[in-house]
Structure 1
Amino acid sequence: MRDLDKRYDRAVILHHGILGSSEDWLLLGERRALPYLLSDGGYDVWLLNARGHSMGATALLVLLTTSPEYNDVLRSGILLAPLAFMYHVKGPMRLLANFYSTNGYNSLNFLGQTEFMNSETFPEQIVKRYCKGDKKSCENPMLLLVNGGSPLLEPKLMEDVMNHTPSGTSAKTIIHFVQLAKTGFFQMFDYGAANNVRKYKNGTPEIYNLKKVTLPLALFSSPSDWLATVSDIKTILPLLPNVNVHHVVKADNFGHYDFVWSPDAPDLVFNFILPLLDKITDSKKDGFFE
């Protein structure tokens, strides 16, 4: 997204969501995808790819709590459907959390030992229970996880999504999210009491202190999101000390990945992001309001 002959004085970092990659941001095409809109608006756009056990907005919150000096390095953060508190998740993630709670860490070995699912799908009984689309889309573990494989996209876009997702992640990443859904806390990875003592010097994993996140934030959410639910968004809002904007997408069936892929995302999400970024980059102050 970088024109090497052009000088930029403002930059935007875009991080993909769960089971995604930087490609996800580009699938809407040059006229609608957020990276292209930002580039046309004069921003130097950087697309990140995650490795390890953090995703998207989660990664930013973890960074700012564990290395709070970055609150003074960045000027603002925009969180699209942030995953932190996940106790009220719906769909397969809720089932996995309940199963984990009853049977423990090793009960999720079917998710993979290293790479999550490794191009496989969820067990048939999980697919049948949550599938809201056709067989092919429901066999895509990411689509089943976020909205039951509902075919809400344009046919050509749906084909592109199926060809590019899931992008792969570690099984540990998904197990960490399952742990968050099980406990209701935004905390570090739980290795079990004995291993936690070796890792954290404590039998329980440390909880991320969101009061350390002083960076000005804008938060976007949707009532139809299976993963970043209304109840969990209500939990995180009062814990973040500098939320300048909370924008709720007012559209039916606007799910977790619709923030990136929906044909309506330019009108419902991106058209709100661009003015926010322009306001903060044109101002000498940090934050979305002067």
Structure 2
Amino acid sequence: MRGTEMGLKTSVFLLALWAVSVPTQESWAWSHKRGSAHARRGLPNDHWGINMTTPELIDAFGYPVEIHHVTTEDGYILEMHRIPHGKAGPSENRPVAYLEHCLLCSSSDYIMNYPEEALAYILADAGYDVWLSNMRGNTYSRNHTTLDPEKLDFWKYSWDEMALYDVPASIDHVLKETGADGVYYVGWSMGTTVFFAMMSEKPEYNDKIKVMAGMAPVAYLGNAIGPIMELAPYVMEVEVVLQLLGVGELFPSNELMDYLAEEYCDVNSTYSQICYNFLFLLGGPDADELHKDFLPLIISHTPAGASVNTIAHYGQMKNSNNFCKFDYGELGNIMHYGRREPPLYNLTKVTAPVGLFWGNTDWLADPADVARLAADLPNLVLDYNVPKEEFNHLDFGWAIHANEYVYTKILELFSAY
């Protein structure tokens, strides 16, 4: 009975994953509805920005923006978005802020709010030269020197490769373009995972970091809960079946997501509560801070796509309760690592100063797992529990009062270095 139940659950889940992994070919049409909260803030309507790119959104808010491209050592072509200065205009010797996004996210997730509450704009107006990364496979980084994103080979990577290739290449590009001797690093969720892994594999990059602010940090997942974590025991089975189906990518951003965002996630929609509850199921509860005015914009840009292996890697972390490299199975591990088990990352090599920012109701970066990470870091300079009873995984980027609860402390941390 248990096997039948597991097989049924897995089959249903695989069909759902397959459905959301297939980019829609249909042209979805809609009519704009009346403006409300957005109109009161100078934006045209509730659906403003759904079809706009990150650079277009930045420009629409009156900030300067640049697009840069970086080619990694293994051939992936990444797109970076830069806000060189705030609305006050350029100045000399601006410190550099480098922002790394979360799983299924992109550069857009640091601007999904009004300028006084969105971290990218806040840093730009505070005097920083802001660079927004896009790691391989998301909406903006779906190119390669030889591989085709329509083929499975393009997607044969996890966040291991992002840590080893994407983040170092992006940081090197930023330092070359700006002439700075180091960056102020912000990571959110997977943006913290790749930071810690990079420092383990390339400890020389510690010298290129002024200080790191880790929001909702993820290196351990032993205490993580939620629907995604419930599937962790079946991660190897799911991965194999998806590969047999030729599926390498999950949850891409496409026209279907734009349509769903506009039709069902609008604050005036009778279905909007479904969108809210879906987000709470992913990141944990916090009804007070969900920015309902921006929900259609968020859903239209996020999820931004990820490889099957990247998502599977987090399931493996839950199962092993360790911060380790991707598990290819016993034979695959022998081929890749020369051993049966995937190697552990060495957090003692993270010698750059680190500040951790965590919430009480974060289901993915559970406070107990964050405490374990904090104990393993040799240069922890701040261990900051957001002073709110409910503050979840997604609040760090999208909360109504994110600046009050988190970003002011990040600015204080940066100013000390």
Q: Which category of TM-score, normalised to the shorter sequence, fits these structures?
A: 0.7 to 0.9
Alignment map for 1:135-146 (pairs within 5 Å): 135-137=274-276, 144-146=281-283
Q: CA deviation at 1:137?
A: 4.8
Give the structure 2 partner of residue 53 of structure 1: 158
157-166 or 83-92: bigger deviation: 157-166
Aligned residue among 117, 121, 141 for 1:36: 121
Measured against aligned partners, the alpha-carbon deviations of 1:89-124 in whole angstroms (never above 9, x if no partner) come to 1101220113338x5753676998211145699xxx
**Mapped contact 1:10–1:43 kept (Cα < 8 A):** yes
Give 3-state SS (helix, strand or coil) of 1:232's partner.
helix
CA RMSD of aligned residues (A): 2.6
2:410 maps to amino acid: I
- Bigger Rg, structure 1 or 2: 2
d(CA) in 1 for partners of 2:239, 2:123:
42
Are the aligned partners of 1:111 and 1:117 in contact in 2 as well (CA < 8 Å)?
Answer: no
Aligned partner (choices 115, 120, 125) of residue 249 of structure 2: 115
**Alpha-carbon distance in structure 1 between the residues aligned to 2:295 and 2:217:** 23
The residue number in structure 1 matching 2:19 is none
Question: How far does the alpha carbon of each residue in 1:29-77 deviate from its partner, in whole angstroms, 9 at most, with x for none?
Answer: 2222111111111111110112253330011101100000111121211
What is the alpha-carbon distance in structure 1 between the residues aligned to residue 299 and residue 98 of structure 2?
25
State how 1:90-239 maps to structure 2 within 5 Å: 90-100=225-235, 105-106=239-240, 113-118=247-252, 134-137=273-276, 144-147=281-284, 152-239=289-376
Greater relative contact order: 1 or 2 (C-alpha under 8 angstroms, separation 6 or more)? 1
Q: Does residue 68 of the first structure (1) align with residue 150 of the second (2)?
A: no
Q: Given that residues 8 and 42 in structure 1 are in contact (C-alpha distance below 8 angstroms), is that contact kept between their aligned partners in structure 2?
A: no
Question: Against the structure 1 CA distance between its residues 263 and 150, is the aligned structure 2 distance closer, same or farther, given a 3 Å change threshold?
Answer: closer
% identity of equivalent residues? 33
- Distance in 1 separating the partners of 2:382 and 2:285: 30
In structure 2, give the amino acid aligned to 1:200.
Y
1:128 match: none
Change in CA separation of 1:263 and 1:136 when aligned onto 2, cut-off 3 Å: closer
Distance of 1:70 and 1:110 partners within structure 2:
38
User: C-alpha displacement at 1:257, in angstroms?
Assistant: 1.1
Taking the aligned partners of 1:44 and 1:257, their CA distance within structure 2 comes to 25
Distance change >3 Å, CA 278–CA 111, structure 1 → 2: farther
Deviation readout 1:174-211 (Å, 9 max, x if unpaired): 00011001110000000001011110111110100101
Q: Decide whether the 8 Å contact of 1:111 with 1:171 is kept in 2.
A: no
Q: Distance in 2 between matches of 1:108 and 1:82?
A: 28
Structure 1, unmatched stretches of 5+, are 122-132, 281-290
Stretches of structure 2 that go unaligned for 5 or more consecutive residues are 1-82, 137-156, 160-189, 258-271
With over 3 angstroms needed to count, the CA separation of the structure-2 counterparts of 1:182 and 1:149, relative to structure 1, is farther
Superimposed CA distance per residue, residues 199-233 of structure 1 (whole angstroms, 9 cap, x where no aligned partner): 01111101001011111111111110010001111
SS at structure 2 position matched to 1:72: helix
The letter of the residue matching 1:33 is A
Q: 1:104 to 1:174 in 2, by over 3 A?
A: closer
User: 2: distance between equivalents of 1:118 and 1:74?
Assistant: 31
Task: Write the distance in 2 (CA, Å) between the matches of 1:70 and 1:164.
Answer: 31
- The 2-side partners of 1:111 and 1:239 are apart by 40
Matched-pair contact (CA < 8 Å) for 1:85–1:185: yes
Aligned match for 1:265, one of 397, 402, 410: 402
Q: TM-score, normalised by structure 1?
A: 0.83
